[in-house]
Amino acid sequence: MENKENNSPELKKKSHWNIRPYMAIALTAFLVITLSIIFFFLIYRYNGFAAGWRKLTVILQPIIIGIVIAYLINPIMMFFEKYLLRWIEPKIQKKDKAKKLCRSLATFGALAVFIMIIAILLILLIPQLAESIQGLVVTLPGEVQELIDKVNGILKNDSEIADMFENTLLHATDYLRNWAMNDLLPKSNQYLTSITSGLISIFKVLLNIVVGLIVSVYLLFSKETFVGQFKKLTYALFKPKRANIIIETARKSNEIFGGFISGKILDSTIIGIICYIVLLIMKMPYAVLVSVIVGVTNVIPFFGPFIGAVPGFIIIVLANPLQGLYFLIVIFILQQVDGNIIGPTILGDSTGLSPFWVVFAIMVGGGLFGFAGMLLGVPVFAVIYYIIQRVIYHFLRKKKLPEATEQYIELDKVDTRTNELCYFQKEEIDVKKEDQTEENTENKN
């Protein structure tokens, strides 16, 4: 009897031990501990990690340049491909051949446009830059002497200040002479070595750009294949529900980056052209050089026009101080036009960030990664903001609470029984109603 009782199905069911929940807990604990150790190691060995990361970025520099070029010229390639397909596809029976031919022609056409734009900018910029440097070398001594004469004319009645100013200039001149004799000339061999290494590094950069152009061609040829491989890997590693979220986030990130970068490039081009036309009308010196500086720095949101105004002002004010003042006024008006009319029309609300978060992203990105951080800080932070927003909306929906921010501005509390939002205004109205009813009852009594 005892053996029969022990072999009964009910006892077997009770004696069965489900190990899966404990395995999940153990795996979670192991992952948390492992990630904590890795995080501590990265902080403790930050210098070694940073050095390794810099070495990796140097090795992958041609690939990074190729990815950037491919991303920039992809809209031009798609534009060419769209119209080439309409013209070539009806003439070729095999659609695959027609698509490959159109893709090849569109890719090389987009690359040719990109190289042509860079070449035009260099052809316009280099002579102007050489002319401005030559002009500064020729006119700077005269400008300095004129400044000294003006200061002496102002301070001729105050001999003490005039003597102090003259002594300061003499000390500065003596310092420059001593630096040239003791530091510059004896170390000329070191400077030649550094110049040689600088030329070698420039050659390496040019070589990386050439390799990057080749990489960009391969990326544009096979971009659909790379996208498909990324999706396949995502669905292989994650459950369909989570993979859908990752794919949607990647699509939204591409939309934010593409809209922001292409819109900002177009916006900066328009600002540079307008600046050039205005400077030509006002007959200011170095119009091309200053306009290119203003257009390039305008790519940086918010701070761009002011960053570009500084070198432009210095270049113009050395040639003509009064025109330098006019230039600042022009930049201020141009920044207002760009910020209120041109920028919103082209970019719209591509990032979905408020002005505060735009400034925050630029400051943090610039502090961590310099010019590249200032340029890409806004779209990167927009993606992070979008992900955080999605997570918050998910938890609010689970708790059956509204998603709109406006509904939380005047919020006092949430009713724990009904999940309804309770507002300050409603409570004040209710208190007023109660006071009025009490007064009415007292008056009746």
**Residue/partner pairs of 143-149 with CB below 8 Å, 24 or more apart:** 143/318
Kindly state whether residues 241 and 340 are assigned to the same domain: yes
Mean local confidence (pLDDT), 289-306? 83
Tens of pLDDT, residues 104-113: 899 999 999 9
Alpha-carbon span 214 to 57, nearest angstrom: 18
Query: For tokens 């190729």, what's the residue?
Result: 66
Alpha-carbon span 327 to 278, nearest angstrom: 10
Q: Which of 48-62, 193-207, 261-275, 333-347 has the highest mean pLDDT?
A: 261-275
Q: Specify if 32 maps to a domain.
A: no
Kindly state whether residues 67 and 205 are assigned to the same domain: yes
Question: Is 206 or 40 the better-scoring residue by pLDDT?
Answer: 206
Kindly state whether residues 121 and 171 are assigned to the same domain: yes
Q: Which of 137-146, 164-173, 293-302, 345-354 has the highest mean pLDDT?
A: 293-302
Kindly state whether residues 143 and 261 are assigned to the same domain: no
Q: How many domains does the chain have?
A: 3
Residue where one domain finishes, among candidates 323, 348, 373: 348
Alpha-carbon span 102 to 86, nearest angstrom: 10
**What per-residue confidence (pLDDT) applies to 233?**
92
Q: Specify if 386 maps to a domain.
A: no
Q: Specify if 201 maps to a domain.
A: yes
| Secondary structure (H, E, C), 294-338 | HHHHCCCCCCHHHHHHHHHHHHHHHHCHHHHHHHHHHHHHHHHHH
**What per-residue confidence (pLDDT) applies to 180?**
58
Can you read off the two tokens belonging to residue 204?
Answer: 């390496």
Kindly state whether residues 186 and 173 are assigned to the same domain: yes
Band (347; pLDDT cuts 50, 70, 90) = low
Question: Is 334 or 132 the better-scoring residue by pLDDT?
Answer: 334
Q: Specify if 197 maps to a domain.
A: yes
Question: Is 39 or 239 the better-scoring residue by pLDDT?
Answer: 239
Global pTM exceeds 0.85 = no
Can you read off the two tokens belonging to residue 358?
Answer: 């735009």
Q: Which residues of 129-164 are buried (b: 16+ CB within 10 A; e: fewer)?
A: beebeeeeeeeeeeeeeeeeeeeeeebeeeeeebee
Residue 408: domain span: 402-435
Residue where one domain finishes, among candidates 321, 348, 375: 348
- Which residue type, as a one-letter code, is found at position 291? S
Percentage of the chain modeled with pLDDT above 90? 9
Kindly state whether residues 184 and 73 are assigned to the same domain: yes
The size of the chain, in residues, is: 445
**What per-residue confidence (pLDDT) applies to 189?**
56
Kindly state whether residues 70 and 142 are assigned to the same domain: yes
Can you read off the two tokens belonging to residue 443?
Answer: 């008056």
**What per-residue confidence (pLDDT) applies to 232?**
93
Alpha-carbon span 319 to 34, nearest angstrom: 63
Mean local confidence (pLDDT), 288-292? 85
Kindly state whether residues 93 and 231 are assigned to the same domain: no
Question: Is 362 or 233 the better-scoring residue by pLDDT?
Answer: 233
Band (15; pLDDT cuts 50, 70, 90) = very low
Can you read off the two tokens belonging to residue 73?
Answer: 């010229």
Question: Is 170 or 236 the better-scoring residue by pLDDT?
Answer: 236
Band (1; pLDDT cuts 50, 70, 90) = very low
Q: Specify if 29 maps to a domain.
A: no
Tens of pLDDT, residues 245-284: 889 989 988 888 888 888 888 888 888 899 989 989 988 8
Tens of pLDDT, residues 73-96: 898 899 898 888 888 878 777 778
Q: Specify if 233 maps to a domain.
A: yes
Mean pLDDT of the chain: 77
Kindly state whether residues 191 and 246 are assigned to the same domain: no
Kindly state whether residues 293 and 415 are assigned to the same domain: no
Q: Specify if 17 maps to a domain.
A: no
Q: Which of 187, 346, 199, 161 is nearest to 260 (CA)?
A: 346
Kindly state whether residues 83 and 187 are assigned to the same domain: yes
Mean local confidence (pLDDT), 162-166? 65
**What per-residue confidence (pLDDT) applies to 111?**
92
Residue where one domain finishes, among candidates 218, 246, 277: 218
Q: Which residues of 101-110 are buried (b: 16+ CB within 10 A; e: fewer)?
A: bbbeebbebb
**What per-residue confidence (pLDDT) applies to 2?**
47
Can you read off the two tokens belonging to residue 376?
Answer: 């890409």
**What per-residue confidence (pLDDT) applies to 50?**
67
Mean local confidence (pLDDT), 50-79? 85
Band (194; pLDDT cuts 50, 70, 90) = low
Alpha-carbon span 103 to 111, nearest angstrom: 12
Question: Is 340 or 146 the better-scoring residue by pLDDT?
Answer: 340
Tens of pLDDT, residues 410-437: 778 887 787 787 887 544 545 455 555 5
**What per-residue confidence (pLDDT) applies to 135?**
66
Mean local confidence (pLDDT), 202-215? 86
Alpha-carbon span 390 to 397, nearest angstrom: 11
pLDDT at residue 11 is higher than 80: no
pLDDT at residue 302 is higher than 60: yes
pLDDT at residue 14 is higher than 50: no
**What per-residue confidence (pLDDT) applies to 396?**
86
Kindly state whether residues 148 and 213 are assigned to the same domain: yes
Q: Which of 52-56, 203-207, 233-237, 403-407 has the highest mean pLDDT?
A: 233-237
Q: Specify if 23 maps to a domain.
A: no
Band (199; pLDDT cuts 50, 70, 90) = low
Q: Are 264 and 301 in contact (CB under 8 A)?
A: yes
Alpha-carbon span 6 to 14, nearest angstrom: 11
